[in-house]
Amino acid sequence: MMKNYSTLLFDLDGTLTDSTEGILKCLVHAIKQMGFEVPEDTNIFLGPPIRQSFAEFCGMNAEQVDEAVRIFRERYSTTGLFENRVYEGIPGMLERLESGGKRLMVATSKPQVYAVRIFERFGLSQYFEIVGGAELDGTRDYKHEVIEYVLAQAGITDRSSVLMIGDRRQDVLGAHKTGIECMGILWGYGSVEELNEAGADYIAETPEKAADMLL
C-alpha cells in the first residue's frame, strides 16, 4: 500500500519531456567540435550531469570539459532546448495531481534557466510551485543537491511526506541520499532493472498509473 505524499518532486528529462533529440544533437556537436570520438551508445549521456558525462565517457580533462560544455550550450540555448516534446499523458497526470491537492515541484540536473524556458514553452509552468535545477557554473549539478535546494525553497521540514519521481538511477540514489523515497517511472530512459537495482520504492508504467497510485 502506498503512503500518502503531499509534495511530489519531478525530474524533467525522461520524466515530463522527451528531450533526447535536442540533448544528443548538442552533445554530438560538442564532442565532434572538440575532436573526440563520439561513443557508440549515445544514450549513456541521458540522465547524468553533462560535465560528468564528458569526463567519464569521452575522457576529457577539466579544461576540455569546460570548453565542451560551452559549445554544447551555445547550440542548446537557441535550438536544442526546443527539440523536445511533452510525453503523452503528462498534462492529464499533472492536472489530476494538482486537483487532488498535491504540491508539485521540479528537481532537475538541467540548468534551472533552461528548465524554466521549457516549461513556459510547453505550457507546464502553471502546475509547478517551484522549478529547481542546476546553476550554469556547475554548482548544484547532482540530484541530491537539487532536491535539498527545492526542499529549502519550499520550506519543507517533514521529508516523510515528500516523494521524488524520475526515470533514472540518479533520481533514486539522489532521493535516498536526502532521506526521501522515490518512484521510478518506465516511460522515460531508464529500465525496470536499472530502477530496481538502484532501490526504487515504487514503479509506475504510465503517467496514468502514476496518478492512480499517488491519489
Among 11, 141, 167, 171, the one annotated catalytic: 11
Q: Which three cell numbers mark 35?
A: 575532436
Question: How many CB atoms are closer than 10 A to CB 117?
Answer: 15
Q: Is the dihedral of CA 132, 137, 141, 144 positive or negative?
A: negative
User: Contact at 8 Å (CB) between 71 and 79?
Assistant: no
What are the DSSP calls for 174-185, one per residue?
HHHHTT-EEEEE
- 171 annotated active-site: no
Please report where in the chains the cell 557508440 appears, as a residue: 40
Exposed e or buried b for every residue in 21-45, given b needs 16+ CB within 10 A?
Answer: ebbbbbbebbbeebebeeeeebeeb
Q: Please identify every residue annotated as catalytic.
A: 11
